[in-house]
């Protein structure tokens, strides 16, 4: 198995929008285009490292999963990979419209002391100036009717050309590369890290109701009717965390998986619900010690735990081996990856990546 890592150009560097004309303005979505170039490089060079360009799996977690989902919608990305894995894709955090992306761009330009129409001024900004303006504008809720956008101020937007619609809409309508196998899933407690990270003190039932109403508007009563009876503690942060898990991650993932299977696509779904034994994974986020927080599956994939000096118990190493096989296989509809349902029989050397190769391909440095 050959593993490669492609990082996205984040923030304003990759997603600033200042106008429509690419010759005279920043048109955004550069981060996605940059990933396309990286995928093309993989196609042209992976064989030099022992890989097969016809069997490329594109996978990502959280915002990375969002990128993968978009490449499944973008036709120009179609020949660049064979199958996809979405880990904890925040389907319910909407991509900005062109109007909202431009509104954020105007605020960024104002913070940078540039006119939004002055591309020369914007291009002359130092990296430090870009980061400073980005930080000042990142706290803004551009569209008050899309409160969840605050969790991803800078990101891809629906430009009508490269990205034509929301990912969850594309899956519902079948506007994606349906012939490609897809594995998608979530952790069982995605929302804990977000809710406890924001609310460091207990949240009362009244406060919980207010926050729920702010997010769900006219649907709040139906949401509260379902969740309030399930939580009796004075502190309702666990309730908020479950709402975030269900609304942002789990329910839309199930909806997308069902839509895929209805049209005959090879789609599988998982829920990762194991509490990792090594608490140092969470870098002091003690509220995750006994929960399966966002990102909990990452130490189990591609030898990440050992590279980061985390310790996996023997049963956890078997779980890791099984996951590596599922992530690395190319199944077809109605089948499971051969051997991966028997963790004890998995040869970890077959699934685990070898030593990292630092030698560049010919012609690259």
Catalytic residues: 62, 190, 294
Separation between Cα atoms, residue 108 and residue 104, nearest integer Å: 6
Residue 296's alpha-carbon distances to 159, 192, 272, in angstroms, are 33, 11, 8
What is the phi/psi pair of residue 184, to 5°?
-140, 155
Separation between Cα atoms, residue 189 and residue 294, nearest integer Å: 7
Spell out the alpha helix ranges (H) of the chain: 11-15, 30-45, 63-73, 98-111, 119-123, 127-137, 167-173, 192-198, 205-216, 220-227, 237-244, 251-262, 304-307, 314-328, 348-351
CA-derived radius of gyration, the chain: 22
Separation between Cα atoms, residue 83 and residue 331, nearest integer Å: 9
Tokens of 72: 């499944």
Contact 124, 112 (CB under 8 A): no
CA atoms within 13 A of residue 31's CA, in its CB half-sphere? 21
Rounded to a whole number of angstroms, the distance between the first and last alpha carbons of the chain is 23
């Amino acid at each position: 198995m050959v593993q490669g890592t492609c990082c996205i150009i984040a923030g304003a560097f990759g997603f600033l929008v200042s106008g429509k004309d690419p010759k005279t303005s920043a048109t955004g979505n550069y981060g996605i285009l940059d990933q396309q170039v990286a995928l093309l490089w993989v196609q042209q060079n992976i064989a030099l490292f022992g890989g097969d360009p016809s069997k490329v799996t594109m996978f990502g977690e959280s915002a990375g999963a969002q990128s993968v989902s978009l490449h499944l919608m973008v036709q120009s990305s179609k020949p660049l990979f064979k199958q996809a894995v979405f880990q904890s894709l925040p389907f319910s955090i909407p991509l900005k419209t062109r109007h909202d992306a431009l509104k954020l761009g105007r605020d960024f330009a104002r913070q940078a002391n540039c006119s939004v129409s002055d591309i020369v001024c914007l291009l002359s900004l130092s990296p430090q100036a870009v980061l400073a303006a980005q930080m000042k504008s990142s706290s803004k809720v551009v569209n008050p009717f899309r409160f969840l956008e605050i969790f991803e101020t800078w990101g891809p937007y629906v430009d009508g050309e490269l990205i034509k619609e929301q990912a969850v809409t594309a899956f519902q309508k079948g506007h994606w590369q349906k012939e490609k196998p897809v594995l998608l899933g979530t952790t069982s407690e995605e929302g804990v890290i977000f809710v406890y990270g924001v609310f460091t003190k207990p949240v009362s039932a009244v406060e919980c109701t207010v926050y729920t109403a702010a997010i769900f508007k006219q649907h709040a009563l139906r949401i509260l009717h379902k969740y309030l009876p399930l939580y009796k503690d004075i502190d309702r942060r666990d309730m908020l965390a479950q709402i975030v898990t269900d609304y942002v991650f789990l329910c839309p993932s199930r909806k997308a998986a069902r839509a895929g299977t209805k049209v005959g696509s090879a789609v599988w779904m998982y829920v990762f619900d194991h509490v990792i034994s090594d608490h140092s994974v969470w870098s002091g986020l003690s509220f995750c010690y006994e929960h399966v927080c966002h990102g909990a599956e990452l130490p189990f994939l591609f030898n990440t735990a050992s590279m980061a000096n985390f310790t996996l118990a023997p049963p956890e190493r078997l779980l890791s081996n099984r996951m590596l096989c599922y992530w690395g296989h190319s199944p077809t509809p109605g089948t499971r990856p051969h051997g991966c349902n028997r963790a004890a029989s998995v040869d970890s050397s077959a699934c685990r990546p070898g030593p990292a190769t630092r030698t560049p391909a010919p012609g690259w440095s």
